[in-house]
Amino acid sequence: MTVSGARGMFSAYAPILVVAALLALTPLATSANTVLNAMVLALLVALAGQGWNILGGYGGQFSFGHAAFFGTGAYGTALLQARYGLNAYVAFAAAIGAGAAVGAAIGFLSFRSGLRGSYFALVTLAFAEVFRIVANASPFTGGAAGTLLKLDVAPGNFQFASRAIFFWIALALVTLVLILTRAIERSRFGAYLVAIRENESAAQALGIDTFKVKLQAITLSAAVTAAAGAFYAQYFLYVNADIAYGAAVSVEALLAPIIGGLGTAFGPLIGTLALHGLAEGAKALTGRIPGIDVALYGALVVLVIAFAPKGLRGLAARLGRGLSTRWAS
């Protein structure tokens, strides 16, 4: 590898490792279970958002139904263990595969029929709703009562007494996807994905098989979001239809990258931390007024879309540039 190539590698991946290392210190700073719990949940939302960001942020295909993948990951790991007695880690991997398969199937149907924009968004939303209704009604998934996993704390069962371990595993997953996303940015696949987002006709004219690239993107995107769902089920040892396939998951998965910065590697993580930080802060200040976090989410989304269409990540870059030019002059 050339020197400039090595330097490019360093500047591309070093920030990811630094951020991961800093976040990994959290359990050393606090052993409060509530804080760690909140952090684990934030990382899961970030992970779901990272999945969404591959398809929506880079590929420009906005899904309103990523709960379909999250839920399949959650139910997948829960049912494979509870019903078929599979090892928790095997079930986790299989659940990611199931999520990817659902992504590929939805992608095949939607993209083959040329769905774009709001039509694609609505179809994904419809799929997630159908899954929710079926999971809520079917005896196989435990119906409205959901599926419970047997508590049996042992590392071999992917169950840990310490929340810190869960935190570190979730962080490792988020870090892995950060690296994956950065690698996509630096690949032909990534260039094609962004080209499709920017102008699909021009992409086709330049030889891009837009159907294939979108299908690959939704499959990968679904796999990542399914991993978040599978982790969720493993962490709480419980899943039901409203949690797994509920619209709230779909909304969180798209809000995080939109707030943090669409089509940027760090966007989903930044967006999640901002949203969750805000919600927690508001709860502390206002003394748990019900719904205050949702109202704040709404306000933040409006603010970001109005004043920072490229998300917090873009806003930071803009402020940085503004400051440096002011310093220079």
Partner 1 sequence: MSAPLLSVQNASKRFGGVLAVDSVSLTINAGGITGLIGPNGAGKTTLFTLISGFERPTSGRIAFQGVDIGALAPHKRAALGVARTFQIVQPFAGLTVRENIAVGAHLRHARRDEALAKAEAVSERVGLADRLNAPASGLTIAGRKRLELARALATEPTLLLLDEVLAGLNPSEVRDVIPIIQDIRRGGVTVLMVEHVMQAVMSLCETVFVLAQGRIIAEGSPSAITKDANVIEAYLGHGAAKRLAARDVAHG
Give me the residues that bind partner 1 (CB under 8 A), please. 5, 186-188, 191-192, 194-195, 197-199, 201-210
Minimum CB separation of residue 313 from partner 1 in Å reads: 14
Sequence-distant (≥ 6) Cβ neighbours of residue 213 within 8 angstroms: 59, 189, 192, 193, 196
Distance between CA atoms of 329 and 90, rounded to whole angstroms?
A: 59
Q: Which is nearer to partner 1, 83 or 212 (CB)?
A: 212
- Phi, psi torsion values for 287, nearest 5 degrees: 65, 50
CB of 161 to partner 1, least distance (A): 45
Q: C-alpha distances in angstroms, 138 versus 13, 60, 65, 128, 319?
A: 45, 34, 20, 15, 52
How far is residue 43's CA from residue 39's CA, in Å, rounded to a whole number? 6
Nearer to partner 1 (CB atom), residue 164 or residue 196: 196
Please count the other Cβ atoms lying within 10 Å of the Cβ belonging to residue 191. 16
Q: Which is nearer to partner 1, 135 or 312 (CB)?
A: 312
| 208 vs 312 by CB, closer to partner 1 | 208
In the complex, least distance from residue 5 CB atom to partner 1, rounded to whole angstroms: 7
CA distance 46 to 78: 21
- Minimum Å gap between C-beta 175 and partner 1 is 22
Q: 3 or 284, CB closer to partner 1?
A: 3
CB of 60 to partner 1, least distance (A): 10
